Amino acid sequence: MNAPGVPAQLRAWIAGHLDPLDATPSDDGAPVRSDFDLNPAHAPSQSVELTPAAVLVGLVEHADGLSVILTRRADTLRRHTGQIAFPGGRTDPGETPWATALREANEEIGLDPALVSLAGLSTPYRTGTGFHITPVVGFIAPGAALTANPDEVADIFETPFGFLMDPANHEQHRRTVPGGEERRFYAMTWEDRFIWGATAGMLRALYDRLYGAAVA
């Protein structure tokens, strides 16, 4: 799907659908998406203390359209080994979500923070593993030199933004988790890349935010 207008108008259109950096919504009553959107029966019955985190949704401005920077997590990591993810991680005490996203992107893929033009914040996402993630959207000029930190990242790649924002590509899969419960989750298959779980959930939330779709 394409937003109307030339690239400058497209950037403004996207930014206009995001929360501004200086108006971070509070947790109370603010819209939040989660791993439990498709699995409401498995949502925690009581409040759980969550670890704040942030990711960078980096939109690379190519001449033929936007693409999104994604990574494949290193096979040596203890959690979410080999999964597709945005650059990101835990928020340090006193750190803003965008500072976290830029710091983690620099540490994981060598992205110079000076090359990122921050656009705003997408809908927070809560994971079943106990994280409250703020997706930070930023525009990046093409040609930025990126280098994977082998301790965290096995591969860096880009996926067309138009593909990720096309609801026809938003698959719903089922998987049986330890304990025998069946869980549903969003997934997007780009070439040989299987984008699923929280990453796909955050992309779906961004689509809903931009295009006004209801939660499926």
Domain edges within the chain:
7-18+50-165
With 70 as the cut, is the pLDDT of residue 178 above it? Answer: no
Report the C-alpha gap between 105 and 89 in whole angstroms: 9
With 60 as the cut, is the pLDDT of residue 53 above it? Answer: yes
Alpha helix positions (H), 28-180: 97-109, 161-164
With 90 as the cut, is the pLDDT of residue 40 above it? Answer: no
pLDDT at position 5, please? Answer: 39
With 60 as the cut, is the pLDDT of residue 72 above it? Answer: yes
pTM of the prediction?
0.88
In this structure, whether the domain defined by 7-18+50-165 belongs to CATH 3.20.20.70 is answered with: no
Report CA torsion sign: 91, 94, 99, 105.
Answer: negative
